[in-house]
Chains A and B, each alone.
Chain A
């Protein structure tokens, strides 16, 4: 099939970018979306044009490296990562608009590649349990109710892709943060640092320039791992608790 691609091209962080249009023929419906872009890039290289830069690594939906705004939807029309999106979700003759994540906290590095190091800094601000190697007690010394473990797991599946930020009209990273707060907060091991964790992470989130949440729910709808809005409620709850405890 044949598709028309409108792609954001921007040589580097300092330059201004613009949308460019490319026609691509011979696209097979078995291709993944990124393989389609690979084919485009081979074409561009053959023509002596700079290939389109985009991020991907695992290409199996787990590393969180990929992420494109496709026709106005983060990761495109299916509930999955960009790398797991296949061309059978499009039809012959379609026009496909491809943009990078737009968030001032995720500056564009080149074309469709953005800098998500803000997420690392949010984790640094408290997204962990402090336990030095070797000091852990025997694993069975603290039983964890199965349901708690399942709930923790369900939200620990966040891949840090940033689609929630990209989709949020406020550019908030609350879903990402809430997922981590809930993951660690569901487990007995996560209790001692519950207050400092939430306060630190939220402060870093704000300092990075992410917007505040208005609970409108675009984030969950875009999340490839279907992290539910509950986690933001948990995040808020934990912050209130910290406020009450005078943090």
Chain B
């Protein structure tokens, strides 16, 4: 292959996925930290939401940071999803005749569920954005311009909490395999120890992030967090 280019390879797609995935991880960590402010009460939470909007002022205009973040995340999402879709298509084309019998020996459930799990996260994400960012839907019928109250109203609705928890389960699984996979894609797991560490990190991130996000809705539903 004389005219081969590294940039056109499947591995480059994976690299883009890993990079965008890591961005997401960074984002969800921060996001989760923010959500946990709900435990500090109405004012602290709303202050934090406002703070996000004014971050970087006067260097950045109002909501400047948020917009940079949003753009980055959207670009990353497009890249992540595009690469995922391309690789999915490739994988399907790589074996059009299926096995009559096929056993999985080594792969974790999370690893085999990355694509469907990713799709779940995507669907959730759209709903999530519609609900909290763009559309501002309050399923309880209450006000939508007070972030804290919107949050509490939402999670006091049991099925909203359920959807949210299901999504967090999907996210946890995605992170469990995704973290290790990204390390491997980045070429950081060249020996047994590095591989073990990457896998442990996957567990930690999965539990911390999915768990951290789930804490708020569970506590709302349980009545620990109230208006």
Most buried by B among A6, A207, A214: A214
Residues in A with CB closer than 8 Å to B104 are 169, 218
Closest 7 pairs (CB-CB, A-B): A237-B187, A171-B94, A203-B4, A221-B106, A212-B10, A211-B94, A72-B103
Count of interface residues, chain B, beta-carbon cutoff 8 Å:
51
Residues in B with CB closer than 8 Å to A228 are 192
Interface check A242, CB cutoff 8 A: yes
Kindly provide the distance from the CB of B12 to the nearest chain A CB, expressed in whole angstroms: 7
Count of interface residues, chain A, beta-carbon cutoff 8 Å:
59
A200-B1, A204-B1 known; A218+B8 contact, CB < 8 A: no
User: Which A residues contact B (CB, under 8 angstroms)?
Assistant: 6, 8, 19, 69, 71-73, 97, 99, 102-105, 108, 125-126, 167, 169-172, 198-207, 209-218, 220-222, 228-230, 232-240, 242-243, 247
Residues in B with CB closer than 8 Å to A234 are 187, 190
Residues in A with CB closer than 8 Å to B10 are 202, 205-206, 211-213
Q: Return 26 A-B CB contacts under 8 Å, by A number.
A: A69-B99, A71-B103, A73-B105, A102-B99, A104-B93, A104-B97, A170-B94, A199-B1, A199-B6, A200-B1, A202-B6, A206-B9, A209-B93, A209-B94, A212-B13, A214-B91, A214-B114, A214-B181, A215-B185, A218-B107, A237-B186, A237-B190, A239-B12, A240-B15, A240-B187, A243-B12
Contact flags B171-209 to A (C-beta < 8 A → 1, else 0): 000000100110111111111101100000000000000
Residues in B with CB closer than 8 Å to A236 are 11, 14-15, 184-187
B99 contacts A72, CB within 8 Å? yes
Interface check B87, CB cutoff 8 A: yes
Binding site of A, secondary structure by majority: helix, strand, loop or mixed? mixed
Could you tell me which residues of chain B, from 72 to 104, have a CB within 8 Å of some CB in chain A? 87, 90-91, 93-104
Could you tell me which residues of chain B, from 125 to 157, have a CB within 8 Å of some CB in chain A? none
Residues in A with CB closer than 8 Å to B191 are 230
Interface check B120, CB cutoff 8 A: no
Complex-state Cα separation, A12 to B171, whole angstroms? 46
Residues in B with CB closer than 8 Å to A242 are 6
Q: Which of A97, A199, A215 contacts B9 (CB 8 A)?
A: A199
A203 contacts B91, CB within 8 Å? no
A243 contacts B107, CB within 8 Å? no
Kindly provide the distance from the CB of B200 to the nearest chain A CB, expressed in whole angstroms: 15
Residue of B nearest to A235 (CB): B11
B94 contacts A203, CB within 8 Å? no
Q: Which of B9, B108, B185 contacts A216 (CB 8 A)?
A: B108
Kindly provide the distance from the CB of B169 to the nearest chain A CB, expressed in whole angstroms: 19
Kindly provide the distance from the CB of A231 to the nearest chain B CB, expressed in whole angstroms: 9
Complex-state Cα separation, A80 to B7, whole angstroms? 36
A217 contacts B6, CB within 8 Å? no
Interface check B111, CB cutoff 8 A: yes
Interface check B112, CB cutoff 8 A: yes
Kindly provide the distance from the CB of A89 to the nearest chain B CB, expressed in whole angstroms: 14
B99 contacts A233, CB within 8 Å? no
Complex-state Cα separation, A71 to B104, whole angstroms? 11
Q: A211-B90, A215-B185 are in contact. List 11 more A-B contacts (CB 8 A).
A: A125-B1, A167-B105, A170-B87, A199-B9, A202-B6, A209-B93, A213-B11, A216-B106, A218-B106, A236-B184, A236-B187
Residue of A nearest to B185 (CB): A236
Kindly provide the distance from the CB of A88 to the nearest chain B CB, expressed in whole angstroms: 20
Q: Which of B5, B108, B184, B187 contacts A199 (CB 8 A)?
A: B5
Residue of B nearest to A244 (CB): B6
Complex-state Cα separation, A167 to B10, whole angstroms? 19
A97-B101, A236-B186 known; A247+B5 contact, CB < 8 A: yes
A72-B103, A172-B94, A202-B10 known; A215+B187 contact, CB < 8 A: no
Most buried by B among A105, A108, A169, A207: A169
Residue of A nearest to B189 (CB): A233
A203 contacts B111, CB within 8 Å? no
